[in-house]
Structure 1
Amino acid sequence: MLDPAVIAATLAELGQPAYRARQVYEALTRGLVTDFDAVTTLPLALRRALRARLSPLSLTERETRVAPDGTARKTLFATADGHPVEAVLMQVAGRATVCVSTQVGCAVGCPFCASGRLGLRRGLTAEEIVDPVLHFARLLREEGRHVTNVVLMGMGEPFHNYEQALRACRLLNDPAGFRLAARSISVSTAGVVPGIDRFAAEPLQLNLAVSLHAATDALRDRLVPLNRTYPLEALFAACERYVGRTRRKLLFEYVVLRGVNDTAEETAALARRLRRPLYHLNLIAYNETGGEFSSPRPEEVEALRRRLEGAGVSVTVRRSPGGDIEAACGQLALRSDAVA
């Protein structure tokens, strides 16, 4: 993926008219080309000149793993400076959802999430965030399908890389480019309060998800260290401001850790906090990452759902495909520490 401004500037330097920039941008985002030679609307000499100056791809594919049932495909990419980046294509219930990363590693450091073990190395550019979406779009096109949803829920905290994450959303939504509906794009945060307030003011009608994982400060301090900076009262005040301003549904993600955050105390606290209009809770069974926590049995997650629903919470169980290839929620970066 190339920044449209870079395309326009390069073509201007080559003395080309403005419409050439539109041709190149559309070829990359709609035609999904990976080589300027494939842009046959351009003169051959111009294609060669562009190839000598620009690369259409900001990432290089290194490894792909596919779940036995075909519902998930995880691809490891490398940035130009050698950092690992993972993305996942999930195909469930007629949808083709791409989960992308916004950073190399993560500074939040949740102990149940593999990405946090890398620590934070750097933020990704908007082009590096978007490239995996275009990669999977090419694969889907071969099957006569297309990307239906994009979630910024991979490696990293999007609001710690706000400018690039939102620029990626704009590129995906661009009516002159990839043209993915804003309501088909979701951004997940561990609870960066200033980011939530800023996001609420964005003109694009993007979806917001909050990675909650605990309903008491004592437990959330342990599970989501960011809670020590933005405790639950501050977080939920920001959530109320968000809902009040946007009038859009707010999703809460809750990874169920057996015997840790599924206790009676946590369940009661969770119900008190989420029994609100436009709040919706997704329960996600913990996927093993080799740490101290255990996965709940399916019947335990279902029992938790019933208790919360009975307490007035809008709640569903979210199935997370790809666990057998370490592509499920919380598992990204398990085997991507080196790509050389």
Structure 2
Amino acid sequence: MGSRNLTHVSGFILMGLTDSEELQLVLFTLFLLIYLITVLGNAGMMLIICLDLQLHTPMYFFLSHLSFLDLCYSTVITPKTLENLLTSTKYISYLSCFTQMNCFVFLNATECSLLSSMAYDHYVAIFNPLHYPVVMSTRCCCSLVFGSYLIGFMDSFVNALSMSRLHLCDSNVIYHFFCETPAILALSSTDTHDTEIMISIFAGSTLAVSLITISVSYVSILSTILKIISTSGKQKTFSTCASHLLGVTIFYGTLIFTYLKPNKFYSLGRDQVVSVFYTIVIPMLNTFIYSLRNKKVKNALIRVMQKRLQAFKITMKLNF
């Protein structure tokens, strides 16, 4: 069986989630609805945070970047998935596949780092509230966000460099609905041990540091909450970080289930379902977790709508 360098492959065939035309139509409708909600929800979140001055705080600064990442996250995967659900070829070019894979790695690693920055922000707000404005200064927040994007870029760069050296067998069929790194590694005709080790070191380090930061932050937060005497005080303090904790649990839970379980528990169908959850569904869920559960965001939305309505009424009066 001949082999070719990855850069010499013209394209791939994405097998997708199912061969049933009826089920493909159902999935197309469902994924399209989820994608529209994701785009409107995350774009709306960024717009509200930008327009409402009361949300110009470190917490919502991080949240606006999380919404941006979720919007990009979904856009990298969902449109091509929707296209493949309606076509019989399911073809994706080499450049598109390579771009999708590395954008996914970049966004995934960046979101991990950003979630740890958000956990640290909550820790400072609860554990040291008097010095919070000094510690979480604009410079500090910008540095944390920039560092998150830098870590994502480094992980993506290492992934791209490692994958570009692969040699593939004659088959270019990817048994997945998007160009995920493990799915492409499975096509290699040569030993991928060194490539997997290199990718695992960088990706594992990002995941480990992020999880440790989040765990330490929330252990400290919980210990602080338990020291509060009043029940109302405990509830108010816990509600500050409850949404973030829920989002972190869902995001990391699916990633750990997908990438850190033993190979003997691997199941193509089950893993594809989990992949759908963290690539398509979670970006939509984050919108609900961080907006519908947040009174400040809902109040900000009301204020923004009232201002726009008032401006519209003034404009109408001037015109008539």
TM-score (norm 2): 0.23
Bigger CA radius of gyration: 2
TM-score (norm 1): 0.22
Greater relative CO, 1 or 2 (CA 8 Å, sep 6+): 2
Give the number of the structure whose residues are more often strand, by fraction: 1
